[in-house]
A and B are shown apart, each in its own frame.
Chain A
Amino acid sequence: MFGLGVLKGMWVTFKNFVLSYFSKDHLVTVQYPEEKIPEKERFRNFPFLIYDDKPEDLRCVSCDICAKECPPKCITIVRDSDAQGKPLKRPKVFDIDFSICMNCGICEEVCPFDAIFMDHEFEIAEFGRFEDLNYHKEDLLKSNEYFAKIRPQDVARIDAKRREKTKKTEPPQTTPTT
């Protein structure tokens, strides 16, 4: 019969319409600003810098590897130096331009000091295109506790690795004093 195909298709839409009131499978949307879907642990958005206890002793030693490997080159690092001009193992300037960053996560992968990680924060809209989205060191700093909160599985692995590393390096320093 001509037109049967149309009616069959209409039946599908009708069924879906009715089911959307009863079945969780058919009503999949959430009311975004009020409701939010829980974030996946591996979700990556923009990078942040991690510090252990105080914001002053951040893990970054300004080795410049992430800046070199970053495909769109959105990271700028300037090494800090002391009063005599001797370079220190910490960054003076650490800028990430979020308008350039493409969330690939390569900086996190290549960092040998576990100092930079991808954040879950995504509501970062700004009015200015250039200066507002160029995040400086102070804006990027986040604590290890925050990291443990967003990525509980990774933090256990990374903390264990770091403890092992400090164990290896510390004994030779402590033995001469005793």
Chain B
Amino acid sequence: MQYELKDAPAFETQTLEVSLGPQHPSTHGVFRMNVVLDGETIVKLKPVMGYLHRNHEKLAENMTWLGSMPYTDRLDYICSMTNNFAYALAVEKLANLEVPERAQYIRVIMAELTRLVNHTLLIGFLLNDLGAFFTPVLYAFREREKILDLFEAVAGSRMMCNYLRFGGVKVDLTSDFIPRARQIINKYPKFLDEFEKLLSENEILMARCQNVGVLPKELAINAGISGPMLRASGVPYDIRKVDGYSIYNRFKFRVPIGEKGDVYDRYYVRILEMRESIKILDQAIKEIPDGEFITKEGGVGARAPRNFKPPKGDAYGRIEAPKGELGFYLVSDGTVKPYRYHVRPPSFINLTILEDMCLGQKVADAIIILGSIDIVLGEVDR
């Protein structure tokens, strides 16, 4: 949509080019937008990425298969468990490894807890961008910390978990994990109610979010958008349902979708998704069986990574990460190192649509549109 002055005055106007970022606090990291403004309206927006490029893919091609597991934590550093999950899934597909029942349940519990962490935090930061300065973020942090404490007790680290192994998980759950997790999950809906009451009905928020940054259904599909972004545009596509990877086809949950695909829908779809995650967690915690947490083969592979050589071939493992479809494409030539290692990061691909959503909007709206995409620069730049 091109902005036009209705009653053009006699004097000439110029467009203004503004470089938002990479040090701008609202770009969620080192992301830069070159924005061309006509008055306050965006006429052109060029995202500049790569300030946080760490050579992840090439590094992984020069170390053992297990060696890049801790590096996947650092892709999307808010949800390291799901990154581990996607990578482990791809390698298991490549090497035809079985995963024990208990490990499957542990993985699902961890992935859904990660989804809670990510969405809570994202909503906090989105509201922060909208001007609700730091109160929602700190409420989000308070709840997130409880889940991160669980992660620390089980995996040893709050954020860089490095917990999954090929064929299972690194260590079994601690004895008090299930009661503690149940306690958190039982309290979570109450927190979500409160969190929602804080701003969902706020008139200022609605005026700023509704009909801003609309992403039409067709454009979303054509651009390869995935995750809550796509569902907010009204496409009921969830890889947990479509693929049913791991044991997700055993759980009952719904896929919430939005109507218009504006910022408000993206905000609200995430809240609804958290409520569905709680349902999955409820079922998983009830049903988790006893048994081994890693297969014997997998345990040997974790202790001697140099003996782990998947057969020749390629595999693509994908999961529904909190931000969208996270996939790992791996090619093996039968040695200890991957021949090709490629990441399909959801935030990077969701970010490509930024200009289409921002054109014709005000410059202040660009910030919240970017916030509603949910990017983590560690994953965008890799």
User: Residues of B contacting A68 with CB < 8 Å?
Assistant: 306
Q: A28-B145, A109-B302, A110-B303 are in contact. Are A6 and B202 (CB under 8 A)?
A: yes
User: Residues of B contacting A3 with CB < 8 Å?
Assistant: 203
Taken together as a complex, chains A and B put the C-alpha atoms of A29 and B333 apart, in Å, by 51
Interchain CB contact under 8 A, A71 and B70: yes
Is A9 located at the chain interface by the 8 A CB criterion? yes
How many whole Å from B69's CB to the nearest CB in chain A? 8
How many whole Å from B100's CB to the nearest CB in chain A? 18
Taken together as a complex, chains A and B put the C-alpha atoms of A8 and B193 apart, in Å, by 12
Interchain CB contact under 8 A, A104 and B162: yes
Interchain CB contact under 8 A, A106 and B66: yes
How many whole Å from A21's CB to the nearest CB in chain B? 15
| CB contact between B194 and one of A12, A43, A69, A110 (< 8 Å): that residue | A12
How many whole Å from B122's CB to the nearest CB in chain A? 19
Is A4 located at the chain interface by the 8 A CB criterion? yes
Interchain CB contact under 8 A, B303 and A109: yes
Count of interface residues, chain B, beta-carbon cutoff 8 Å: 42
Is A81 located at the chain interface by the 8 A CB criterion? no
Taken together as a complex, chains A and B put the C-alpha atoms of A105 and B204 apart, in Å, by 48
Interchain CB contact under 8 A, B157 and A43: yes
Is B153 located at the chain interface by the 8 A CB criterion? yes
How many whole Å from B297's CB to the nearest CB in chain A? 16
Is A103 located at the chain interface by the 8 A CB criterion? yes
User: Residues of B contacting A104 with CB < 8 Å?
Assistant: 69-70, 73, 160, 162
Residues 57-105 of A contacting B (Cβ, < 8 Å)? 68-69, 71, 102-105
Closest B residue to A102 by beta carbon equals B70
The digit string for B195-211, where 1 denotes a CB below 8 A from any CB of A, is 00111111111100000
How many whole Å from A81's CB to the nearest CB in chain B? 25
Is B380 located at the chain interface by the 8 A CB criterion? no
Taken together as a complex, chains A and B put the C-alpha atoms of A26 and B145 apart, in Å, by 12
| CB contact between A6 and one of B68, B74, B203 (< 8 Å): that residue | B203
Is A118 located at the chain interface by the 8 A CB criterion? yes
Is B152 located at the chain interface by the 8 A CB criterion? yes
Is B170 located at the chain interface by the 8 A CB criterion? yes
Residues 33-70 of A contacting B (Cβ, < 8 Å)? 40-44, 68-69
User: Residues of B contacting A28 with CB < 8 Å?
Assistant: 142, 145
| CB contact between A12 and one of B154, B197, B304, B305 (< 8 Å): that residue | B197
Closest B residue to A1 by beta carbon equals B203
Interchain CB contact under 8 A, A5 and B202: yes
The digit string for B152-180, where 1 denotes a CB below 8 A from any CB of A, is 11111100101000000011001000000
The digit string for B274-300, where 1 denotes a CB below 8 A from any CB of A, is 000000000000000000000000000
Interchain CB contact under 8 A, A42 and B155: yes
How many whole Å from B177's CB to the nearest CB in chain A? 11
How many whole Å from B34's CB to the nearest CB in chain A? 33
User: Residues of B contacting A44 with CB < 8 Å?
Assistant: 156-157
Interchain CB contact under 8 A, B67 and A42: no
User: Residues of B contacting A71 with CB < 8 Å?
Assistant: 63, 67-68, 70-71
Interchain CB contact under 8 A, B201 and A106: no
Taken together as a complex, chains A and B put the C-alpha atoms of A41 and B142 apart, in Å, by 22
User: Residues of B contacting A16 with CB < 8 Å?
Assistant: 139
How many whole Å from B75's CB to the nearest CB in chain A? 14
Closest A residue to B175 by beta carbon equals A153
| CB contact between A9 and one of B145, B157, B171, B202 (< 8 Å): that residue | B202
Is B135 located at the chain interface by the 8 A CB criterion? yes
Q: A43-B157, A106-B67, A106-B70 are in contact. Are A9 and B197 (CB under 8 A)?
A: yes
Is B246 located at the chain interface by the 8 A CB criterion? no
Taken together as a complex, chains A and B put the C-alpha atoms of A110 and B302 apart, in Å, by 7
Interchain CB contact under 8 A, B201 and A103: no
Residues 3-21 of B contacting A (Cβ, < 8 Å)? none
Interchain CB contact under 8 A, A103 and B204: no
Taken together as a complex, chains A and B put the C-alpha atoms of A68 and B152 apart, in Å, by 27
How many whole Å from B311's CB to the nearest CB in chain A? 22
How many whole Å from A142's CB to the nearest CB in chain B? 18
| CB contact between B153 and one of A40, A105, A109 (< 8 Å): that residue | A40
User: Residues of A contacting B152 with CB < 8 Å?
Assistant: 40, 42-43
Q: A69-B64, A69-B306 are in contact. Are A6 and B204 (CB under 8 A)?
A: yes
Residues of A whose CB lies within 8 Å of any CB of B are 2-6, 8-9, 12-13, 16, 26, 28, 40-44, 68-69, 71, 102-106, 109-110, 112, 118
* A-B contact list, 5 entries, CB within 8 Å: A9-B201, A12-B194, A16-B139, A102-B74, A106-B67
4 other contacts beyond A5-B202, A6-B204, A109-B302, with CB at 8 A cut-off?
A12-B198, A44-B157, A105-B162, A106-B305
